[in-house]
Structure 1
Amino acid sequence: METSTVLLTGFEPFGGERTNPSWDAVIELAARPRTGDHQLVVLQLPCVFDASITALRAAVAEHAPDVVICVGQAGGRDGITPERIAVNLSDARVPDNAGNQPIDVPVVPDAPAAYFTGLPVKACVARLEEAGIPASVSHTAGTFVCNHVFYGLMHLLATELPHVRGGFVHVPFSPEQAEGKDAPSLPVSTTADALDVIVRASLEVSTDLAVSAGTLS
């Protein structure tokens, strides 16, 4: 059986943090013994607007993955949240790690306003819930570097690599980060478990579940 390649990315720390659970979970998962017919390629992205997409595009070109899953930190969220929609907007409340702070700037000029994910996000959430991991579908990836990467990825796949599936997942703080912040968190090992579930669902599910994941607000 042919082996699939999954490119899994996380971010470097930002905002004065010493760690980033997106990358910590990615490297923990990569260090585990592999089971199944897929291989993982992992990449740490800079928390810098354009440089992050440049690094991602280079990795996609080098490794020719079948699936790309980018992971970012969403402090304040209490579960794993696969993202549904990437918007063509960078509007930074704070500077990135290089001091860039774009305001009302498109990720890609003259490109569509938004892209939907290529991942089966509802199936991913269902499997995470079955595994006892808190999860929900998110309808906004924000307007910082996470959304910038998400949109850049989906534009790349839509315009150059339509056979590749991709998307973005936000994860909560680690307990270390949440200490003293009165914020929810998940152990990095649990987040790594969740990413494993999402990788497998993304490889196995071609048509997402026809169940509601909408919100009232």
Structure 2
Amino acid sequence: MEQPGQTVVVTGFGPFGEHAVNASWTAVQELQQLGLGDGVRLHVYEIPVDYRAAQRLVPELWERHSPQLVVHVGVSGLASSVTLESCGHNSGYCRPDNRDFSPCSGCCVDGGPDCLSSVIDMDAVCCRLAARGLDVALSTSQDAGRFLCDFTYFLSLLQGCGRAAFVHVPPVGRPYSARQLGLALRAVVLEMLAQLGPPAPRAS
């Protein structure tokens, strides 16, 4: 387990459906190349579009890295802006994943709360970045879609006591390049870290 500090985990998703190359993973790889500065340890992972894999991987990432923040990134074919999701939902998961599986109960965590919100103020992140003249449009949402995106986000919010975020990106070229998406992610993650403030010191 890593020492507490400015440690951030960012994930993208693997291929599914019409997205043979998932723009979320492309954007995360761009972010990895850019980095988050010398004071931040960045770890990136690709999550399969697989409910059972997500249920296994998300807790492992929190346990392995003890991050200050986990940011999950997904693609939305309907999006024309970079969208910051405010909350994750526990139920409504009927759409089959890449292995043709969906939870029998339709729930992420049986008996869990209906909805969990991030400790990050997504509206504030959007406002602050818009004031800086970011060349990518930003928006917020309270519905991450009841598929792997929402499912993974709920798991992470539960595991991290709200210290998680979800960002939907449009497909590459509709209208933004991979580089623009990577730069936008970098700005978003750094603003989220600034909002969280310095990590709490380890108790002796």
CA contact (8 A) 1:90 1:102 kept: no
CA contact (8 A) 2:90 2:114 kept: yes
CA contact (8 A) 1:150 1:167 kept: yes
Of 62, 65, 69, the residue aligned with 1:63 is: 65
Q: Kindly indicate whether residue 159 of structure 2 is the aligned counterpart of residue 156 of structure 1.
A: yes
How far off its partner does 1:34 sit?
Answer: 4.5
Which moved further from structure 2: 107-116 or 16-25?
16-25
* RMSD of aligned residue pairs (Cα, Å): 2.0
How far off its partner does 1:139 sit?
Answer: 1.3
Q: Distance in 2 between matches of 1:189 and 1:92?
A: 34
| Residue in structure 2 matched with residue 139 of structure 1 by the alignment | 142
Please list every run of at least 4 consecutive aligned residues from structure 1 whose deviation after the TM superposition is greater than 3 angstroms. Answer: 101-104
SS in structure 1 at match of 2:160: helix
Q: Distance in 1 between matches of 2:9 and 2:114?
A: 25
How far off its partner does 1:33 sit?
Answer: 5.0
Counterpart residue type for residue 39 of structure 1: R
How far off its partner does 1:16 sit?
Answer: 4.0
Which moved further from structure 2: 60-69 or 29-38?
29-38
Number of aligned positions between the proteins: 192
| Residue in structure 2 matched with residue 198 of structure 1 by the alignment | 188
| Residue in structure 1 matched with residue 34 of structure 2 by the alignment | 32
Share of identical aligned residues, percent? 28
Q: Distance in 1 between matches of 2:60 and 2:168?
A: 22
Provide the TM-score with structure 2 as the length reference: 0.86
Q: Distance in 1 between matches of 2:73 and 2:167?
A: 5
Question: Which deviations, in whole Å up to 9, do the C-alpha atoms of 1:112-148 show, x marking residues without a partner?
Answer: 1101112231122124423121111111001111000
CA contact (8 A) 2:94 2:106 kept: no
Counterpart residue type for residue 125 of structure 2: C
Q: Distance in 2 between matches of 1:139 and 1:73?
A: 16
| Residue in structure 1 matched with residue 166 of structure 2 by the alignment | 168
Provide the TM-score with structure 1 as the length reference: 0.81
Question: Which deviations, in whole Å up to 9, do the C-alpha atoms of 1:73-125 show, x marking residues without a partner?
Answer: 111110000101211114334x2111113476111011111011122311221
Q: Distance in 1 between matches of 2:183 and 2:157?
A: 25
CA contact (8 A) 2:82 2:138 kept: yes
SS in structure 2 at match of 1:194: helix
